[in-house]
Chains A and B, each alone.
Chain A
Amino acid sequence: MALHTMTLAELTAGLESGEFTSVDVTRSLLDRIATYDAKLNALITVTGDAALAAAAKADADRAAGNVGMLNGLPVIHKDIFCTRGVKTSCGSKMLDNFISPYDAAIVERMTAAGAVVLGKANMDEFAMGSSNETSFYGPVHNPWDLDCSPGGSSGGSAASVAARFAPAATATDTGGSIRQPAALTNTVGIKPTYGRVSRYGMIAFASSLDQAGTITRTAEDAARVLGVMAGFDERDSTSVDAPVPDYLGEIGESIKGLRVGIVRQHFDEGLDAACAVKVKEAIAVLESLGATTVEVDLPNIDLSVPTYYVVAPAECSSNLSRFDGVRFGHRAENAEDLFDLYCRSRGEGFGDEVKRRIMTGTYALSAGYYDAYYLKAQQVRQLIADDFRKAFADVDVIAGPTTPTPAFKLGDKVDDPITMYLNDIYTIGANLAGLPAISVPCGFVDELPIGLHLVGTHFAESTLLRCAHQYQQQTDWHTACPEAFA
């Protein structure tokens, strides 16, 4: 079995038995990246030397009996996570010259657990986008069809895992940015409960929505990585001080009796008919495993996209103010005065989509408009959260499609932001309500993968992982590898 095809679980077994070393694995994957990434553009930075050094250390640690949960396992970090001494660009020209002086909390935790970082994944600029086309470093291509988008904003993470560059990548999800690319690349993407994973060192887009998670090929691997990433961090006031369950240990439990909610609104006209068939088949598999289905109503869910596109830009307009050319990042040359320095540094450093959102958000927060936009959006957000709470009185998880269609062609939606935004129609609700959600591969439409979306109640990651894992035990969609990357 080739090293690059192995999951974290399989690699762990091989490392434990001494069949191969972390250096072997790391070298093999770095070779693959060198050979294939020209096709995908999935990575912004490859940290080969550091990876080999980390792998050697992991092997030494293992020999010394010091074996962390991720010992010797290769991972790729989305370039939104600060990595000490390594360029952390957030997909933007603004931070093209930014070498982070510190590690993000999740980077710290994963490194401490023995992970080997191969590099930094491409992404939409400041995580604003659903196709990876807003990246300063150019779009990422979908391994299943190089003319297609892998989704976004975590397109580089998803494409890397799908193309077997690494068995796991970190990602972030503000409005579907983990789950949508996972669905479009035949990978598993989990966005945990808001507050489950520290945001410290994750460059902020919309602080009340941003959450870090993972992209892997199996739910089992997601459980392994999430178990390391999750937990209270006093450096993030919104992180929740609650014990982290043994995700990996609980994953094998049966889902018999699990109550699965089907949202009436999710199967309306917006959903591609072939996709609907696949998603319904997936739900039938859950039923065959002993789950029962219940129809649930989320009466305000249609408002989630417009609500999101007020709240997220408002927060981003403030979060991105620190990029002013004064202390770090891009600075315009020969500024005439302070105003000129600001205008040109920001004008040159940010791309169109980022500017669009900063302007939208600035408008929404302006005197005279605040009540009509920001405040109203927060009220609707509360309604949506209430809808979910009511629905979860009767069900354990809510199942539906992750995206309305399979992957779309690069360039198709880039000039039509509204259509682009609608790609996240099924995923954004979970962000607004702070709920955990997972996308798991559930088949192919026109030879392109799609995902089954499962949403849980707050801190029900374990239930989602178990449900996805049990589904993956019955199906083999996730083992399919794009031909060009076999």
Chain B
Amino acid sequence: MSWEVVIGLEIHTQLATKSKIFSGASTAYGAEPNTQACLVDLGYPGVLPVLNKEVVHMAAMFGLAVNATVAPRSVFARKNYFYPDLPKGYQISQYELPIVEHGELFITDAEGNDKRIGITRAHLEEDAGKSIHEGLDKSSGIDLNRAGTPLLEIVSEPDIRSAKEAVAYMRKIHTIVRYLGISDGNMQEGSFRCDANVSVRPKGQEAFGTRAEIKNLNSFRFVEKAINFEVERQIELIEDGGEVVQETRLYDSDQDETRSMRSKEEANDYRYFPDPDLLPVEIAADFIESVRAELPELPDAKQQRFVEEYEVKKDDAAILTISRPVANYFEEAAAATDASAQLVANWVVGELSGALNKDGLEIGDSKVTAAELAGLLTRIHDNTISGKIAKQVFEAMWAGDGSADEVIEARGLKQITDSSAIEAVVDKVIEANPGQVAEYRAGKDKLIGFFVGQVMKETKGQANPGQVNQILKAKLSG
């Protein structure tokens, strides 16, 4: 039988506010346990939550960026359950009336076509703390630094049909939240993680299969691997006559498998009800318009503009728009050189990305600035150096040896464009290779490459390749 995979993702994005969603405590990552938890975060008797208005602003930005409705009225509710890392015994979240509803975004599917993924809703909530077991004998510790950190939970429609699409969707959301500046998207620190609802059904069947929810996936790679494992597990199970049970599963990256955590029967009854300590969030239409006015250019629009305005290839435009700093770098470099934008794109996507990856740097920390790269590309464009020499120059620039011009000057890499100098070398090469000359003249045109190579070797690659070609052809035919 042929199976169809159905996936919906719930992405938890930590919002990049300075203070927590309902208290004034700092959200900075990595502090000593329980040093960033105030009485509100600790759930002390008598304390009350006060909404950090910045999160409303951020959620509205997200809503507009994914073409969603930003609700004029949304309501915080309490999700009740007991757990040591949940100080109040309930999590403040949004339930019936979320702040964002009915959004969408587009990913590129396996055939290279645009595919729409619906976004059911995005709601605001507070994060819990975490339990610490390591280094403690027969007891557990609780660190409540993370308790009360603002999260935007983004819930997709079950429109995703493969692990690859799931990753593409998650990457798209990741790009959007970073474009908007509403999250640092740091996956190692847990600022961006997701739960995947996965089910399979026979191709052609309309009804959904029973789903399993894989919790807390914190890398794109894990999302892909966990879903692939889960899909195979479910198909095998059904084909062996079994039944998928609705349950929560955990992905173990060491074993590359998902394991059952709790079944539906064991699931909590969360007893949601509107939180009487918080007023409904009312958003006026003019606030939404002011947020819309300040939205940055979003990845899709920017990509399209790069293709139209700079005439760079679509694939390159996609890579150049992966983040705002990368796109800005490209535009800054392109503006500072007469070289073609496609050449700039090639270098940003190629040499520069390679060097950044090798050193584990973000583009903001690049050792070669956009202006410096532009300086190098200008020298290719005006024939001062060849593309090949430029790679050497770039390496030297990366190593801190100075600007393109300084490196070219210091190392004498300037291209030889003096025709008489090139002619002298060409003559020398012709004289030294009478056999090949005879063959060429007998019609073996391909040997032109051999002669070019010899001339370049003699000039240490500095001769202008165009001129070399021209002079060689003239002399050989003579």
A321 touches B90 (CB 8 A): yes
Measured CB to CB, the closest approach of chain A to B456, in angstroms, equals 74
Chain A 71-97 interface mask (CB, 8 Å, partner B; 1/0) = 000000000011000001010000100
Pick the most buried of A90, A199, A200, A326: most chain B CB atoms within 10 A of its CB.
Answer: A326
B269 touches A200 (CB 8 A): no
Interface residues on B, range: 20 to 34
B89 touches A207 (CB 8 A): no
Given contacts A238-B277, A326-B84, contact A199 B48 (CB under 8 A): yes
**Chain A contacts for B43, CB-based, 8 A:** 322, 327
The contact of B45 among A98, A207, A326, A362, by CB within 8 Å, is A98
**Chain A residue with the shortest CB-CB distance to B140:** A338
**Chain B residue with the shortest CB-CB distance to A200:** B48
Measured CB to CB, the closest approach of chain A to B92, in angstroms, equals 11
Is B358's beta carbon under 8 Å from chain A? no
Given contacts A235-B50, A322-B45, contact A367 B142 (CB under 8 A): no
B271 touches A204 (CB 8 A): no
How far apart sit A203 and B84, CA to CA, in the bound complex (Å)? 21
**Chain A contacts for B44, CB-based, 8 A:** 101-102, 322, 327-328
Is B414's beta carbon under 8 Å from chain A? no
B277 touches A324 (CB 8 A): no
Is B49's beta carbon under 8 Å from chain A? yes
How far apart sit A322 and B87, CA to CA, in the bound complex (Å)? 6
**Chain A contacts for B80, CB-based, 8 A:** 317-318, 321, 365
How far apart sit A365 and B272, CA to CA, in the bound complex (Å)? 7
Is B361's beta carbon under 8 Å from chain A? no
Measured CB to CB, the closest approach of chain A to B75, in angstroms, equals 13
Given contacts A207-B277, A237-B277, A326-B84, contact A95 B45 (CB under 8 A): yes
Given contacts A237-B49, A324-B89, A342-B82, contact A318 B42 (CB under 8 A): no
B273 touches A338 (CB 8 A): no
B87 touches A366 (CB 8 A): no
Pick the most buried of B43, B47, B80, B142: most chain A CB atoms within 10 A of its CB.
Answer: B47
**Chain A contacts for B39, CB-based, 8 A:** 101-102
How far apart sit A194 and B45, CA to CA, in the bound complex (Å)? 20
Is B46's beta carbon under 8 Å from chain A? yes
The contact of A338 among B45, B49, B78, B84, by CB within 8 Å, is B84
Measured CB to CB, the closest approach of chain A to B412, in angstroms, equals 70
Is B278's beta carbon under 8 Å from chain A? yes
Measured CB to CB, the closest approach of chain B to A90, in angstroms, equals 7
B90 touches A200 (CB 8 A): no
B142 touches A365 (CB 8 A): no
B269 touches A203 (CB 8 A): no
Measured CB to CB, the closest approach of chain A to B28, in angstroms, equals 22
**Chain B residue with the shortest CB-CB distance to A95:** B45
A366 touches B45 (CB 8 A): no
Measured CB to CB, the closest approach of chain A to B87, in angstroms, equals 6
Is B360's beta carbon under 8 Å from chain A? no
The contact of A367 among B47, B49, B269, B277, by CB within 8 Å, is B269
**Chain B residue with the shortest CB-CB distance to A315:** B276
A366 touches B276 (CB 8 A): no
A318 touches B90 (CB 8 A): yes
**Chain B contacts for A321, CB-based, 8 A:** 80, 82, 88-90
Measured CB to CB, the closest approach of chain A to B129, in angstroms, equals 11
Measured CB to CB, the closest approach of chain A to B1, in angstroms, equals 36
How far apart sit A415 and B50, CA to CA, in the bound complex (Å)? 40
B47 touches A201 (CB 8 A): yes
Pick the most buried of B44, B271, B277: most chain A CB atoms within 10 A of its CB.
Answer: B271
Given contacts A327-B87, A365-B80, contact A82 B50 (CB under 8 A): no
**Chain A contacts for B410, CB-based, 8 A:** none
Is A286's beta carbon under 8 Å from chain B? no
Is A29's beta carbon under 8 Å from chain B? no
B48 touches A318 (CB 8 A): no
Number of interface residues of A (CB under 8 A): 45
Pick the most buried of B47, B90, B276: most chain A CB atoms within 10 A of its CB.
Answer: B276
**Chain B contacts for A98, CB-based, 8 A:** 45
**Chain A contacts for B273, CB-based, 8 A:** 314-315, 318, 365, 370, 374
How far apart sit A102 and B46, CA to CA, in the bound complex (Å)? 10
Is B279's beta carbon under 8 Å from chain A? yes
B82 touches A201 (CB 8 A): no
Measured CB to CB, the closest approach of chain B to A370, in angstroms, equals 7
Chain B 378-407 interface mask (CB, 8 Å, partner A; 1/0) = 000000000000000000000000000000
Is A302's beta carbon under 8 Å from chain B? no
| B38-58, CB < 8 A from A | 39, 42-51
**Chain B residue with the shortest CB-CB distance to A204:** B46
**Chain B residue with the shortest CB-CB distance to A94:** B45
A201 touches B271 (CB 8 A): no
**Chain B contacts for A320, CB-based, 8 A:** 89
The contact of B46 among A203, A362, A374, by CB within 8 Å, is A203
Chain A 91-125 interface mask (CB, 8 Å, partner B; 1/0) = 00001001011101000000000000000000000
**Chain B contacts for A317, CB-based, 8 A:** 80, 271
B46 touches A202 (CB 8 A): yes
**Chain A contacts for B277, CB-based, 8 A:** 204, 207, 237-238
**Chain A contacts for B269, CB-based, 8 A:** 366-367
**Chain A residue with the shortest CB-CB distance to B278:** A237
| A230-266, CB < 8 A from B | 234-238
**Chain A contacts for B49, CB-based, 8 A:** 237
Given contacts A318-B89, A362-B271, A367-B269, contact A200 B82 (CB under 8 A): no
Measured CB to CB, the closest approach of chain A to B95, in angstroms, equals 11
Is A208's beta carbon under 8 Å from chain B? yes
**Chain B contacts for A314, CB-based, 8 A:** 273
How far apart sit A230 and B186, CA to CA, in the bound complex (Å)? 45
A234 touches B89 (CB 8 A): no
A318 touches B46 (CB 8 A): no
**Chain B contacts for A324, CB-based, 8 A:** 82, 84, 89
**Chain B contacts for A374, CB-based, 8 A:** 273
How far apart sit A98 and B43, CA to CA, in the bound complex (Å)? 14
Given contacts A318-B271, A327-B43, contact A237 B89 (CB under 8 A): no
**Chain A contacts for B89, CB-based, 8 A:** 318, 320-322, 324
A365 touches B271 (CB 8 A): yes
How far apart sit A200 and B46, CA to CA, in the bound complex (Å)? 6
In the complex, 29 of the A-B residue pairs with CB atoms within 8 angstroms, ordered by the A residue number, are A82-B45, A82-B46, A88-B45, A90-B45, A95-B45, A100-B45, A201-B46, A203-B45, A204-B45, A204-B46, A204-B277, A206-B276, A207-B277, A315-B273, A321-B82, A321-B88, A321-B90, A322-B87, A322-B88, A322-B89, A324-B82, A327-B42, A327-B43, A327-B44, A365-B80, A365-B271, A366-B271, A367-B269, A370-B271
Known contacts A321-B82, A328-B44; 7 further A-B pairs (Cβ under 8 A) = A199-B48, A201-B46, A206-B276, A237-B277, A322-B43, A327-B42, A328-B45
Which 4 residue pairs across A and B have the least CB separation, nearest first? A321-B89, A208-B276, A207-B276, A365-B271
